[in-house]
Amino acid sequence: MDEFARAKTLIDKAENILIMAHKRPDGDTLGCACAFSLMFTAMEKACTLVCIDAPSDRFGFLPEVKKFTKEFNPSVYDLVILPDIADKKMLSYDLPDGVPVILIDHHASNNGILEAINVIDEKAASASVIVYKLFQFMGVKITSHIATCLLTGIYNDTGSFMHSNTSNEVFKISSELTFAGAKMQVIIKNMFRNVPISTLKLWGKALEALRVNKDNVAISVLTKKDFEDCDALPSESGGIIEKMSSIPGIKFAILLHETATTVKGSMRTVRDDVDLVKVAELFGGGGHKKAAGFTLPGRIEREVRWKVVPESGFDKLNDVSPINGLFIDGNLG
C-alpha cells in the first residue's frame, strides 16, 4: 500500500508520461498500458505508449492500442510507467535518465529496478490485477474501456481462467470489471477465436516434432526455418506450450524456439512439485513456478537430437544442469 501511495503521488504530479510495454507484448502488458493511457487522457495529462515490437493484430480491439509508437523523444517525460516488465531485459527501450519510474509487475523472479517505485505482487494473477487495485486506491473511475483493457490482462495471464493462478480474487475482480462494462465476448473472440493459418501451420511443425524424453519431459522445437516455412512471426508460437503441457503424466513441457540470434525456451507444468523458476534460472531466465522461460544467444542445431547451442560462456552449463537428458535423445529421432 505504501507503494500505491508513492505511485499516486508521482502520477498526480506528472504531466507527460511515457508508458512502456515489454518486448513481444502480450495482453497483460498491453491491457495495462492502454488502461493507463485512458486514465491519463481522462486526467488531461499527455502520455505516449511505446513498444519495440508492434502489438499483434489480435489485440487491435484494445482501446488506445493504435497509439503505440516506436518514435518518441525520451527527454520530454516526467514519469515512466512499466507494466508487466519482469526483468530489465524485457524493457523495450533504455530508461530515460533521471526520470521517476513506476514498475508494476507480478513475476516471482522480479527484484525490481533500482530507483524505481516497484509495485510487485507475485500473488497477483496478472499485472492488470495490480493496476486495477491501484486505480481503486486512486479513486479512478473504471470506465467500460478501462475495464476491457484490464480484463484482457486477466484473460491473457490466466489462460482464460484455466491456469492455477485463477484465484477467488481473479473471479471477484473480473466480475467487477464485467459489471463496469468490460466487453468479455470481444476479448474472447479476438484473443482465442482468431488464429491465422500461419499460426496453425506453425503449431503443426511444433506438434510434429514433439517428443517425451526418458525424464518425462515433453520437448519440441521451432527453428528459424519452421517460422519461414509457415510464414509465421515469432509471436505466433504463443499457446503451443500450453497444449504441450497438457500431456498426462509429464513433469513439464519445454518449447525451444529460435529467433535471428537467440534460442528462447518456454516452459510450463501443471504439477505442484515442479519449480520451473529454478530450471529457468540455470539459463539466466525466470518467471513463475509453473510458467517460466529463458533466452540464450545462440541457435538450435539438429544433430541426432535437438539441443541448445549457446554462443559462448555457457560451457559449464551442461555439467551443472539437471537438464542433462532433457533434450531429445537420438533414439527418438
Instruction: Give the residues lining the site for Mn ion (CB under 5 A).
Output: 28, 84, 126-127, 157
Closest CA to 27 of 160, 202, 206: 160
Whichever of 128 and 223 has its CB closer to Mn ion, that residue is 128
CB of 157 to Mn ion, least distance (A): 4
What is the three-class DSSP state of 211?
strand
Whichever of 90 and 218 has its CB closer to Mn ion, that residue is 90
Closest CA to 48 of 72, 31, 15, 66: 72
Whichever of 127 and 209 has its CB closer to Mn ion, that residue is 127
Whichever of 31 and 234 has its CB closer to Mn ion, that residue is 31
Whichever of 170 and 209 has its CB closer to Mn ion, that residue is 170
Question: In 10 A of CB 235, how many CB atoms?
Answer: 15
Residue with cell 518449447: 255
CB of 211 to Mn ion, least distance (A): 29
CB of 32 to Mn ion, least distance (A): 8
CB of 31 to Mn ion, least distance (A): 9
Give the CA distances from residue 244 to residues 148, 155, 175, 249, 267, in Å, rounded to whole numbers and listed in that order: 29, 20, 30, 12, 9
Whichever of 17 and 127 has its CB closer to Mn ion, that residue is 127
CB of 152 to Mn ion, least distance (A): 11
Buried b or exposed e, range 313-327, using 16+ CB within 10 angstroms:
ebeebeeeeebeebb
In the bound complex, which residue of the shown chain has the CB atom lying closest to Mn ion? Answer: 28
Our measurement of the distance from residue 11's CA atom to the centroid of its chain's CA atoms, rounded to an integer in Å, reads: 24
CA–CA gap between residue 267 and residue 289 (Å, rounded)? 10
Contacts of residue 216, Cβ cutoff 8 Å, sequence gap at least 6: 249, 250, 251
CB of 55 to Mn ion, least distance (A): 15
DSSP annotation of 69 reads B
CB of 255 to Mn ion, least distance (A): 18
Whichever of 157 and 236 has its CB closer to Mn ion, that residue is 157
